[in-house]
Amino acid sequence: MTDLLHKVGRFASRRRLFVLVAWILVIVSLVGANKGLGSSAVDNFEVPGVESQQARDLLSQRFPQKAGATAMVVFHVPNGGISEQKYGAGIAATIDEIRALDHVTSVVDPLATPVTQSQDGTTAVAAVQFDQSTAELGHPALGSLTATAGPARAVGVQTEFGGELPTVLKEQSTGPAEAIGVIAALVILLITFRSIIAMALPLLTAAAGLITGISAIGLLAGVIEIPTVAPRLGMMIGLGVGIDYALFVLSRHRDQVIDGMPIEESIARTNATAGNAVVIAGMTVVIAILGLKFAGIPFVAALGYSASIVVAIAVAVAVTLLPAMLSFVGPRILPRHLRQGESNRVTRMDSNGERAAGAEGASTTDRPPSGWVRWAHWVAHHPWRSSIAATAVLLIAAIPLGGMHLGQADAGSQPSDTTQRKAYDLLDASFGPGFNGPLLIVADLGSGGDPVALERIVDSVRADPGVKAVGPPQINDANDTALITAIPKTTPQDQATADLVHRLRADTLPSAVRGGNTEVYVGGPTAGFVDQSDKIAARLPWFIAGVVGLSFLLLMIVFRSLLVPLKAAILNLLSIAAAYGVVVAVFQWGWGRSLIGLEESVPIASFVPMMMFAILFGLSMDYEVFILSRIREEHLAGRSNIDSVVAGLGATAKVITAAALIMVSVFLGFVGSPDPVVKMMGVGLATAVTLDATIVRMVLLPATMALVGEPNWWLPKWLDRVLPHMDVEGGVDSGPSSLEAPSLEA
């Protein structure tokens, strides 16, 4: 791999115009293809093999009029009654327009149905039934539905749209997230490199990769259903890793040029070393994210496909386009004061402060020990104290994880100015919180029907303490399938509602149909989200074990060690657990939620822990690979374990800190999104990267490396012979390391 990347780097340097034009053609082609052949993202929350899906399938087969999506149109007047003549004409006209819409099979007229009016008479709701799912209907159906509000609003009736269709297909606003991340990256890169060109290159290459990746996601949406949150998450991840990967490559090249290495040779060797580390780190991220396929849920797998495409393209850009761009800028990658020749070259020192063999420059006093070297020296010589303190911080942060409640945020968590939130609040105040998340109970009555069993089902459900009301059964023409609507007493996202679903399935309904041939299923969107959470919770441990196992194997091959990948896995699990704890504390417990624009506590979206783990485990491995590859490089050069830890950490800490700051800034920018799921991902990813780049990489990693000593690099000989070789340091003679810093013992 290193030889190949060395050749790719040299080719990109010598044929820079060809590489640049090729990338431009790729980008333009993908953008054009996406516009012509791509498709819009759509949310389809089907979960194969669960009870809510069985209920939907049964309705589709026997009662198709009730199998599609639903919506609720809420009418409200501040004074008087909703049925007054001055309001009635406008409401009736809106209802007529809704009935005339494509795919609408029925509309419950609130003026003719007293049960759909609130007790004070100021609010009424019209239930709308479609013949297709939300994924099949798409945003045009929502636009047509909301356009019918005109007549009612014209006579002074507040008209809002809630329920399944408007909530699932809500508009995804973009906000200032990208601008915040880019501005922060500009500032951090400028401080790090003191060069406008060096500042611009990572952003330009990240932008190229991001445009390519988002276009590829659009093309993928033409083949499979991609959730609406996928492009948003892809943008978040693409900006973060794209800038980070470019930063690591650029930093290595820049320091080699400072040491006097010719531009072309430096580009080739950088690609064989830092570029190789980027490829290995990117492979780890892609492996982790593709593991989402094993969740067994199509839309979660689609999130994995989308994110992995963006990461893979970011890697490709970093090892092909970036080397070409580095060749274009030449020595201008350096600040002006470092382009003056031999007198300004930085001398490479070993960890004892002596000039390394082959190093050029002046005396060993030219570069005093940096703050990072002093820090690494202190941690390496106080490993127990450092390890205990850092572990305690992570464990305390992880405490809330024990109370994590998986679910789905309902429309009550949407911004207060959206029609979905207004409809939710009106229904909550007028009919009770459970009206926003009814349960659909589907009964298979058999060929002859069973009215006695149906009556027992209704009575049993009505008697449950968690049920507020039960509607009359709706029976299909064949008299073999019934649909019963049950209104819970609690909100859709409440844990009590999930408990109700489990209780109905495990006890209430089986008791009601015992001894007969009737089968009953609890379905509807609310039950579907409960099933989704249960399925993900059941598979999450296996998913984590699989990702950790594959990553352990990859790192064992790369670093030829058993303990290094084992410690990496444990440390990554600690930092991710701490990030989970912070997410639970903020979103479930409500700690500081007002600071991120969240109006109420929400459950943790069921797929967020799995998605977070996949991304975070992969990203944390980025820093692990970059630091450990440098430590191993120093160790293979003949240094002791502690000296290699000090030199390796001192050499990479500044760049890793800058990379982490950029990534955290990008992730925090997305916290401004109105979507709670995007907020969760932003807070969780930013927290994890912060903890990983500080407590884990700067404290726990060097401390545990120092504690273990030389056995860090032990690998049984028989295993060494069996494992394939993947040299992360580079298979070419790269000469002395430019980033090496002197020890405090100098």
Split at pLDDT 50, 70, 90, the class of 446 is: confident
pLDDT at 400: 94
Given a cut of 70, whether residue 341 has pLDDT beyond it is no
Between residues 715 and 41, which one has the greater pLDDT?
Answer: 715
CATH architecture of 1-43+176-340: Up-down Bundle (1.20)
Domain 439-523 has CATH 1.10.246.90: no
Q: Give, for 72, the enclosing helix (H) or strand (E).
A: strand 70-76
pLDDT at 128: 93
CA 356, CA 358: separation in Å to the nearest integer?
Answer: 6
Given a cut of 50, whether residue 298 has pLDDT beyond it is yes
pLDDT at 172: 61
- Ordered DSSP codes for 465-517: TTEEEEPPPEE-TTSSEEEEEEEESS-TTSHHHHHHHHHIIIIIHHHHHTTSS
Separation of CA 445 from chain center: 43
Phi, psi of 159 (to 5 degrees): -125, 120
Q: Cα dihedral angle (150, 152, 155, 159), rounded to 10 degrees?
A: -100
> Lowest-confidence range among 195-209, 401-415, 499-513?
401-415
Mean pLDDT calculated for residue range 300-314: 90
pLDDT at 314: 93
Separation of CA 352 from chain center: 44
Identify whether the C-beta of residue 103 lies closer than 8 Å to the C-beta of residue 132. yes
Identify whether the C-beta of residue 129 lies closer than 8 Å to the C-beta of residue 104. yes
Residue-wise pLDDT tens digits, 212-238: 999 999 898 888 888 877 888 888 888
Phi, psi of 56 (to 5 degrees): -65, -40
Given a cut of 60, whether residue 251 has pLDDT beyond it is yes
Residue-wise pLDDT tens digits, 661-703: 888 888 888 787 777 888 888 899 899 889 988 898 889 988 9
Given a cut of 60, whether residue 343 has pLDDT beyond it is no
Beta-ladder partners of 488 = 467
Given the candidates 1.10.150.130, 1.10.3720.10, 1.20.1640.10, 3.80.10.10, the CATH classification of the domain at 370-401+543-724 is 1.20.1640.10
pLDDT at 426: 92
Given a cut of 50, whether residue 741 has pLDDT beyond it is no
- 1-43+176-340 and 439-523: identical CATH topology: no
Most confident among 84-98, 556-570, 603-617, 629-643 (mean pLDDT)? 84-98
Residues 6+ apart with CB under 8 A from 727: 1, 2, 276
Mean pLDDT calculated for residue range 246-266: 87
pLDDT at 728: 56
Given a cut of 60, whether residue 348 has pLDDT beyond it is no
pLDDT at 363: 36
pLDDT at 742: 32
pLDDT at 339: 61
Given a cut of 90, whether residue 584 has pLDDT beyond it is yes
Split at pLDDT 50, 70, 90, the class of 176 is: low
pLDDT at 539: 86
Residue-wise pLDDT tens digits, 493-542: 888 999 999 999 999 999 988 877 889 999 998 999 899 889 888 888 88
Given a cut of 50, whether residue 564 has pLDDT beyond it is yes
> What is the chain's mean pLDDT, rounded?
83
Quote the Cα angle for 277-283-289, to 5°: 140
- What own/partner pairs with CB < 8 Å and gap ≥ 24 does 587-596 have? 587/676, 587/679, 587/680, 587/683, 588/400, 588/403, 588/404, 588/405, 589/400, 589/403, 596/671, 596/679, 596/683
> Lowest-confidence range among 28-37, 422-431, 532-541, 617-626?
617-626
Split at pLDDT 50, 70, 90, the class of 721 is: confident
Given a cut of 80, whether residue 618 has pLDDT beyond it is no
Q: What percent of the chain has pLDDT over 90?
A: 30
Split at pLDDT 50, 70, 90, the class of 145 is: very high
Mean pLDDT calculated for residue range 104-128: 88
CA 628, CA 563: separation in Å to the nearest integer?
Answer: 12
For β-strands 604-605 and 406-407, DSSP reports them as parallel
Distances (CA, A) of 362 to 1, 259, 261, 352: 36, 12, 16, 16
pLDDT at 178: 59
pLDDT at 736: 37
Residue spans per domain, the chain:
1-43+176-340, 51-168, 370-401+543-724, 439-523
Given a cut of 80, whether residue 340 has pLDDT beyond it is no
Collapsing DSSP to helix, strand or coil, 22 comes out as helix
pLDDT at 368: 55
pLDDT at 349: 37
Nearest CA-CA partner of 293 in 283, 303, 284: 303
Kindly state the DSSP code that residue 100 receives in the 8-state scheme: T
Given a cut of 50, whether residue 731 has pLDDT beyond it is no
Most confident among 242-246, 267-271, 372-376 (mean pLDDT)? 267-271
pLDDT at 451: 83
Q: Cα dihedral angle (130, 134, 139, 144), rounded to 10 degrees?
A: 10
Mean pLDDT calculated for residue range 732-741: 37
Split at pLDDT 50, 70, 90, the class of 104 is: very high
pLDDT at 745: 34
CATH number of 51-168: 3.30.70.100
